[in-house]
Amino acid sequence: MTRSALTIWCNNDFTPAQAAEREQLIEGAGPHRVLFFEPTDDGRSGAARESLQDADIAFGSPDARAASECAGLRWVQLNTAGYTSYDHAEIKEKLKAHGTRLTNNSGVYDEPCAQHLLAMMLALARGLPSALEAQRGDRAWHMWDMRPGLRLLNGQTVLLLGYGAIARRLAELLGPLGMEVVAVRREVRGDETVRVLKSDAVDELLPAADHVVNILPANEATGNFLNAARLASLKRGAIVYNIGRGTTLDQNALIKELRAGRIAAAYLDVTDPEPLPPEHPLWEAPNCFITPHVGGGHATEKERQVSHFLDNLRRFERDEDLRDRLL
């Protein structure tokens, strides 16, 4: 593939504070023309739609249906790890018919999300939330109340729901702790570095798990995947983590299990809905710890998004395999 000028449609969000990253994209694109739109201009209408139809490449968050109807669009790179709106048979078939490649930003978010999960696993095992609550509360010295309940992660079993980039990186980080890691995914590829089974084996694995880490995307197959029956099958003292999507977990059933004290704790970086309303019962559920969908956040997030895109752009120019390719 030659370096003839291409048109790059972009609605990635660059704030005024991210002017350097915007310039990084322009300079890195070289001879190619970059057309910028607001994040809300997703290609469904107006000038953004007209430009998307004439573009060779889209970078950001173009509307899935609009992108699938652009016969000349050769490649779409999403600026997120999630790709729910594209994960539909009709959309994928249209993209394939046009020869449109689809990539996401898993390579940008695997490290921060994996570190975020590891941080919470360690914090809960070592009682850090309880210590912080005491410091901000009665400031009592709960030494002998806390010590017997602190745990080591060594030898405990982690069940990963999903085995994409985030799960793979988390498994690597857990390796030195000597934890038993097993995962389920839609299709077992055979190149996984931990034991991986198909998703329908999850019911056999749940009762043995000390930690259930939900990294599932939202699609037709994952709604309420971690449902009431599956939560009830967990061993007493298990901990549930969700950094995938809120719709994949039965939150009402989770609250019930937490109130009953069967599940030791839950950590949620994603909820349904988002933002989570202040009056939602999850906020007051015992041992439920919530962060506002910040698991993938990091100071160099926008810079790494652009770098990831430019690396794939060089690969696209040379007709090489693209990183984080979905289609």
**pLDDT tens-digit profile, the chain (327 residues):** 445 899 999 999 999 999 999 999 999 999 999 999 999 999 999 999 999 999 999 999 999 999 999 999 999 999 999 999 999 999 999 999 999 999 999 999 999 999 999 999 999 999 999 999 999 999 999 999 999 999 999 999 999 999 999 999 999 999 999 999 999 999 999 999 999 999 999 999 999 999 999 999 999 889 999 999 999 999 999 999 999 999 999 999 999 999 999 999 999 999 999 999 999 999 999 999 999 999 999 999 999 999 999 999 999 999 999 999 999
Nearest to 76 by CA among 94, 89, 219: 94
Residue linked to tokens 């933002």? 275
Task: Indicate the burial class of 71 (C-beta count within 10 angstroms; 0-12, 13-18, 19 or more).
Answer: exposed
**26 vs 306: CA distance, rounded Å:** 10
The strand ranges marked E within 73-210 are 75-78, 101-103, 157-161, 180-185, 195-198
Task: State the amino acid at position 2 in one-letter form.
Answer: T
Read out DSSP for 192-228? -SSEEEEGGGHHHHGGG-SEEEE-PPPSTTTTTSB-H
3-state secondary structure of 33: strand
Contact (CB, 8 A) for 250 and 87: no
**313 vs 308: CA distance, rounded Å:** 9
Q: Is there a common fold for 7-104+299-317 and 109-290?
A: yes
Angle subtended at Cα 113 by Cα 109 and Cα 118, rounded to the nearest 5 degrees: 150
Task: State the amino acid at position 190 in one-letter form.
Answer: G
The pLDDT value given to residue 114: 98
The pLDDT value given to residue 3: 59
Predicted TM-score (pTM) of the model is 0.93
Domain spanning 7-104+299-317, CATH architecture: 3-Layer(aba) Sandwich (3.40)
The pLDDT value given to residue 2: 45
Angle subtended at Cα 254 by Cα 203 and Cα 136, rounded to the nearest 5 degrees: 135
Q: Is the dihedral angle over the CA atoms 263, 265, 269, 273 positive or is it negative?
A: positive
The pLDDT value given to residue 1: 43
Domain spanning 109-290, CATH architecture: 3-Layer(aba) Sandwich (3.40)
3-state secondary structure of 82: coil
**71 vs 210: CA distance, rounded Å:** 48
Q: Domain limits of the chain?
A: 7-104+299-317, 109-290
